[in-house]
A and B are shown apart, each in its own frame.
Chain A
Amino acid sequence: METALQGIEHAYERSGKGLVLTVSYSPAYFDRFDEDLPESVALPAPKALAPFEDPELDTPDAVVHLASNTAQVVLGAEESLKGNKSTLNGVEQPDTALTDVFEIVDRRTGFVGDGLPAENAGDAEGVPADKVPEDAPLFMGFKSGFKKNQASEDRVTIQSGPFAGGTTQHISKLQLNLNQWYNQDDRWQREAKMFCPYHAENDVIEGTGDNLGTSSKIDDCKPVDETAREMGVVGHSQKSAAARENDTPIILRRDFNSTDGGQAGLHFLALQRGIGDFEKTRKAMNGTDVSKQSAVGQRNNNGILQYIRTERRGNYLVPPRSLRALPPAQPATNAQEVTDASS
């Protein structure tokens, strides 16, 4: 397996221009071992995370995530991992394929970046192609993943034990309803529901939100409960920010859009130190307490919950590089020491 992975790594530089990849393993994989995972790894089985969702729970053994600024690179690497290429980008490929060990049970594709959603709108049902802004990086029309609204890599890195240096990964598949979002709601509602009513009232966001710079300026929003009571609507970012620790988000979002199955969707991939951090963030995003105490509904006026439906959820451990090929549940020695370098 390591040989197969190194084959594609030798073909491209490790960057957005080249190829970036991770390999991760599910609780179902670790269940194959007699030993439990060490306590330093928080990797429960996936479950429904909102009262109104009933997702399929994913149990593949492993997930390989390939990313690149160039679609051809990802597709080429995939073929090589399947053993279908003798050379990749001019580099000779090993005889061993990933598919010697694994059977492919699922394949999810997607894109993120200015203009890509508008370009791909025609591939999915129910996307108002004329409404998705030409320069939007995501289907819902706003920039996401501002530098200051992401957890740092240190915050999502497992600090101790044999898997130190690794992280956990949650991957959900969300289906989007862009008809309601673009054809029924107006711009004010989209801004209020994605960010917060304060942003909509004060015209804080221009276009897709590039004008915001490096932060979504969520500190300017009023407290969630106050907005819920007095305006009857709360924003997605405003609510999600309630999960922060030390005033910083605790998950690192790497979500991207998709037209898999002819549907407008979003693969919500997030990295965090333990799956509990994701669950806590999703709980904040659900705003269940807010909806109990105000005019905000379970999904109505409750951030973007009205427009997204969770179809699948899966939890994974991304081991440190040295353990990325078929790690045991209890590796013998500490893989690597992590010092919270930047802190």
Chain B
Amino acid sequence: MPGMNEQGGYKCALTYSFPHRFWLMKPSGITKVDIQSADSVHMMPIVWDAQTRIIPPDINPQLTITQDGESVDQFAPWPMLSQPMGFHFGDNAQLNGNGTYTVDVSIGGPSTRRTGSLAENQGDASFTFEFEFNQSTLDEISVTDLSEDKQGTKGAVDVMDMEMLPSSQVPKPDALPGDVRGTATSGDAKFVVTVLEDASRFGGTQDQVYLAVSPRTPYNRIMLPMMSLSGTLTRGGSSVFDGILQATIDPELRYHYGATVSDVQSGDELTITVDSPPQTARHEGYETAFVDMPSMTLTL
């Protein structure tokens, strides 16, 4: 990891590994991205809110790589999911061999609804790293990966616990705020439903409640951003809410989807529909997960 920087309420670390193949999402499936011969490293700038240590998936960093003032490569890395790295932005970069490079990471403003202290952090920051690239040490980097015999079996590699780096995990069900009313499963992902009194923080009123859905990967609790979710709440056969669950980043709930409703009573039925699965790119191990996601119904 070539270093860490702080600016404008955000911190940024630049991490890297050897080039990876990955998959991009499309409505009818996935597109495989092979490693190209010119690819040198898989670059992953990790940007997080300094106060809450949340990694906001809505802020697309832009990378500019230069060497002695000359441009080498520039790109906006893809939002991605990987078992060892969790949610991150990353892409394979093409360098000119061993040497020292300067990497600029710039971020703009947010584009997902934010609440609490996060709402004030408007972004617009840039970070500069000096990066020493050496092919031989890169080959030695031990990147956590599935061992041969485990490939294709269910289970996930532990999330890399790189010291000082924040994680892209969401809270365990019992650590979520509000009254946790149940968990549903779809396309390997878990969807935890919690109801918070007083929806004023989420654009509602004090006497409304906030119905929050917190999807995560089944073993590592990694957030699953960039979905289109909608919900229907029915009571005694008639609908009391039918609308989209809006992606929101909250200091306590962290990344989740939610809607303001007048109230939730026990026995209410909630149907969660995944109109689009997470549009993040996928590293190996996640290329078939969270793709086909049928709707879920649970009794609250």
Contacts and interface: CB of A to CB of B under 8 A. Distances in A.
Contacts of A233: 26-27, 279
A294 B276 contact: yes
B76 A309 contact: yes
A295 B278 contact: yes
Contacts of B31: 184-186, 188-189
A188 B25 CA distance: 11
Interface in A239-267: 261-263
Given A189-B31, A233-B27, A291 B36 contact: no
A229 B276 contact: yes
B74 interface: yes
A291 B57 CA distance: 12
B83 interface: no
A295 B24 contact: no
Contacts of A298: 58-60, 108, 111
A292 B244 CA distance: 11
Interface string A266-305: 0000000000000000000000100111111111110000
A51 interface: yes
Contacts of A300: 60, 78-79, 226, 279-280
A299 B76 contact: yes
B246 interface: yes
Interface stretch (A77-85, A157-165, A175-183): A175-183
B93 to A, nearest CB: 10
Given A197-B27, A229-B276, A232-B228, A291 B75 contact: no
Contacts of B280: 300
Interface in A8-64: 50-54
B235 interface: no
B74 A295 contact: no
A184 B111 contact: no
Contacts of B113: 292
A126 interface: yes
A220 interface: no
Interface in A284-342: 288, 291-301, 306-307, 309
A83 to B, nearest CB: 33
Interface in A92-148: 125-126
Contacts of B108: 50-54, 298
Contacts of B78: 180, 300, 306
B111 A229 contact: no
Contact of B26 (A175, A192, A291): A192
Given A52-B108, A232-B279, A297 B79 contact: yes
A113 to B, nearest CB: 26
Nearest to B275: A229
Chain A interface residue number, banded: 35 or more
A212 interface: no
A177 B74 contact: yes
B203 interface: no
A261 B71 CA distance: 9
A309 B62 contact: yes
Contacts of A53: 108
Given A189-B26, A306-B76, A309-B62, A295 B279 contact: yes
A126 B27 contact: no
Contacts of B278: 295
B121 interface: no
Given A297-B226, A298-B58, A292 B279 contact: no
Contacts of B33: 183-184
B279 A309 contact: no
Given A126-B94, A177-B76, A295 B26 contact: no
Interface in B78-124: 78-79, 91, 94, 106-113, 123-124
Interface string A60-79: 00000000000000000000
B227 interface: yes
A232 B24 contact: no
A88 interface: no
Given A52-B60, A53-B108, A229 B228 contact: yes
A230 B275 contact: yes
A287 B20 CA distance: 30
Residue among B106, B109, B230 with the highest chain A CB neighbour number at 10 A: B109
B73 interface: yes
A91 interface: no
Contacts of A179: 75, 94
Given A183-B36, A189-B26, A292-B113, A297 B94 contact: no
B40 to A, nearest CB: 13
Contact of A126 (B62, B73, B227, B279): B73
B258 interface: no
Interface of B: 24-28, 31, 33, 36, 57-60, 62, 71-76, 78-79, 91, 94, 106-113, 123-124, 126, 226-228, 230, 244, 246-247, 275-280
Query: Nearest 4 pairs between A and B by C-beta?
Result: A52-B108, A232-B276, A51-B109, A295-B276
Given A230-B275, A298-B111, 16 more contacts: A52-B59, A125-B71, A126-B74, A179-B94, A184-B31, A184-B91, A189-B31, A229-B276, A231-B276, A232-B228, A288-B111, A295-B277, A296-B279, A297-B226, A300-B78, A301-B25
